[in-house]
């Protein structure tokens, strides 16, 4: 095989999927220590890459600027003359770019679309194995001799960012001498969200029964809900106050995270912080369940309608939402007590 000098990894979104590429990026860097490894990402997720030390250059795509912007990025990438392109997104944008920049090798990860469809439509499991997505991302680089290194995903907070976040914690009257637990009540789809009132009850019981401090993290959508939670429980609310890199830094300072099936869960694990993941309409077979051995999952087993979706929806097809409604605060708290 010809020497590999330049590698492009294409993954535009979202938070969780970008974080799950970090094991692939580390394996690429270890296999090709002197190569230029570039990463294409949507503008709103670019801050994540501040905490990924394995990348040479971050190429930002502003999708709000339309197809002209995509063509401009494509033309810029074509001038780089990449030896290898790894399409870890596999949508129309990635195919347009990856197939037209003249790379010697273009490889893609397997989405298992048919198996996914059979499981969500007929609830028949034809998966041969449950293989986490972060390993399937690495599989896309098998053609160039890259294999899993036995480690998990990995984010590294820059020292300056770490220092500034410690100051924010101190100013917020958080003590590093006492356990800090993060709650992340947001999710991209409403049927992947555990009820806000249950998160509020959980926060109150953590403070009272586990003698721990609680921080609330999320985006602008969760800011008002989390502000109300903070008033009722004594938790410290950071929702809507941080960019993605700051949220990563904040999670690096906690000992445990409770999150829905969403990006912050994967961020936490990539920092080595275990999670209690709250999972409703999705399934382990899709590859997005927690990967750290010490992490735990709160879910309702043996529901005949589960899973109903891989991505999430803003409604429950059966209108009872049992997969989330039946997960109690006590169930989540019991998992936390053993961690």
Whether residue 17 lies inside any domain: the answer is yes
Cα four-point dihedral sign 272, 274, 280, 286: positive
Residue 338: pLDDT band by 50, 70, 90 thresholds?
confident
Q: Do residues 141 and 107 make contact, with C-beta atoms less than 8 angstroms apart?
A: yes
- As given in the structure block, the two tokens for residue 198 are 């249950």
- Are β-strands 105-108 and 84-87 bridged in parallel, bridged antiparallel, or unpaired? parallel
- Mean per-residue pLDDT, 38-61: 98
Asked if residue 172 and residue 96 are part of one domain, the reply reads no
Average pLDDT of the chain, as a whole number: 96
Residues whose CB falls within 8 Å of the CB of residue 244, separated by 6 or more in sequence, listed in order: 15, 45, 47, 48
Asked if residue 131 and residue 177 are part of one domain, the reply reads no
Whether residue 149 lies inside any domain: the answer is no
Asked if residue 215 and residue 139 are part of one domain, the reply reads no
Asked if residue 75 and residue 212 are part of one domain, the reply reads no
Residue 1: pLDDT band by 50, 70, 90 thresholds?
low
pLDDT digits (tens, 9 = 90+) for 4-24: 999 999 999 999 999 999 999
What percentage of the chain exceeds 70 in pLDDT?
99
State how many domains the chain has: 2
**CA-closest candidate to residue 182, choices 17, 20, 336, 13:** 336
Whether residue 150 lies inside any domain: the answer is no
Asked if residue 286 and residue 174 are part of one domain, the reply reads yes
Whether residue 154 lies inside any domain: the answer is no
Whether residue 153 lies inside any domain: the answer is no
Burial of residue 238, with CB atoms counted within 10 A of its CB: 0-12 exposed, 13-18 middle, 19 or more buried: buried
Whether residue 228 lies inside any domain: the answer is yes
Last residue of a domain, one of 85, 119, 144: 144
- Mean per-residue pLDDT, 271-279: 98
Rounded to 5°, the CA angle 156-16-251 comes to 45
Whether residue 1 lies inside any domain: the answer is no
Q: Whole-angstrom Cα distance, residue 268 to residue 157?
A: 12
pLDDT digits (tens, 9 = 90+) for 58-67: 999 999 999 9
Q: Is the peptide bond before 180 cis (omega within 30 degrees of 0)?
A: no
pLDDT digits (tens, 9 = 90+) for 163-178: 999 999 999 999 999 9
Asked if residue 220 and residue 139 are part of one domain, the reply reads no
pLDDT digits (tens, 9 = 90+) for 152-210: 999 999 999 999 999 999 999 999 999 999 999 999 899 999 999 999 999 999 999 99
Asked if residue 269 and residue 132 are part of one domain, the reply reads no
Last residue of a domain, one of 115, 144, 173: 144
Residue 32 has φ and ψ, to the nearest 5°, of -130, 70
Q: Give the CATH number for residue 195.
A: 3.40.50.2000
Asked if residue 310 and residue 201 are part of one domain, the reply reads yes
pLDDT digits (tens, 9 = 90+) for 305-317: 999 998 899 999 9
Cα four-point dihedral sign 323, 290, 251, 46: negative
DSSP string, 275-314: EEEE-SS--GGGS-S--STT-EEE--TT-TT----SS--S
Asked if residue 242 and residue 125 are part of one domain, the reply reads no
Asked if residue 257 and residue 169 are part of one domain, the reply reads yes
DSSP state for residue 145 in the 8-state scheme: T
Asked if residue 124 and residue 243 are part of one domain, the reply reads no
Q: Whole-angstrom Cα distance, residue 248 to residue 300?
A: 29
**Lookup result for tokens 């501040």:** 50
Whether residue 37 lies inside any domain: the answer is yes
3-state secondary structure of 106: strand
Q: Which domain holds residue 108?
A: 6-144
pLDDT digits (tens, 9 = 90+) for 82-102: 999 999 999 999 999 999 999
Asked if residue 196 and residue 84 are part of one domain, the reply reads no
**Lookup result for tokens 């002197």:** 34
Q: Whole-angstrom Cα distance, residue 40 to residue 57?
A: 9
Last residue of a domain, one of 121, 144, 167: 144
């Amino acid at each position: 095989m010809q020497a590999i000098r330049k590698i492009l990894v294409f993954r535009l979104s979202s938070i969780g999927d970008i974080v799950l590429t970090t094991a692939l990026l580390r394996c690429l860097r270890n296999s090709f220590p002197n190569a230029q490894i570039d990463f294409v990402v949507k503008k709103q997720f670019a801050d994540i890459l501040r905490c990924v030390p394995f990348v040479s250059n971050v190429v930002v795509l502003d999708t709000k600027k339309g197809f002209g912007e995509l063509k401009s990025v494509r033309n810029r990438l074509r001038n780089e003359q990449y030896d290898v392109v790894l399409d870890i997104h596999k949508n129309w944008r990635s195919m347009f770019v990856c197939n037209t920049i003249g790379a010697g090798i273009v490889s893609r990860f397997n989405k298992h679309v048919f198996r996914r469809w059979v499981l969500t439509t007929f609830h028949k499991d034809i998966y041969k194995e449950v293989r986490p997505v972060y390993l399937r991302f690495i599989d896309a680089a098998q053609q160039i001799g890259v294999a899993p290194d036995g480690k998990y995903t990995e984010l590294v907070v820059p020292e300056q960012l770490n220092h500034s976040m410690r100051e924010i914690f101190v100013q917020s009257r958080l003590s590093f001498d006492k356990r800090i637990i993060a709650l992340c009540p947001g999710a991209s789809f409403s049927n992947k969200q555990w009820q806000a009132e249950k998160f509020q009850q959980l926060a109150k019981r953590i403070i009272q029964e586990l003698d721990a401090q609680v921080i609330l993290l999320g985006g602008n959508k969760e800011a008002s809900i989390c502000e109300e939670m903070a008033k009722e429980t004594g938790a410290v609310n950071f929702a809507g106050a941080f960019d993605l890199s700051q949220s990563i830094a904040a999670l690096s300072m906690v000992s445990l995270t409770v999150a829905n099936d969403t990006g912050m869960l994967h961020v936490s694990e990539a920092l080595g912080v275990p999670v209690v993941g709250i999972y409703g309409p999705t399934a382990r077979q899709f590859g997005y369940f927690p990967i750290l051995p010490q992490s735990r999952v709160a879910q309702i087993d043996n529901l005949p309608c589960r899973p109903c979706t891989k991505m999430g929806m803003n409604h429950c097809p059966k209108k009872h939402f049992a997969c989330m409604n039946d997960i109690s605060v006590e169930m989540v708290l019991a998992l936390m007590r053993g961690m």
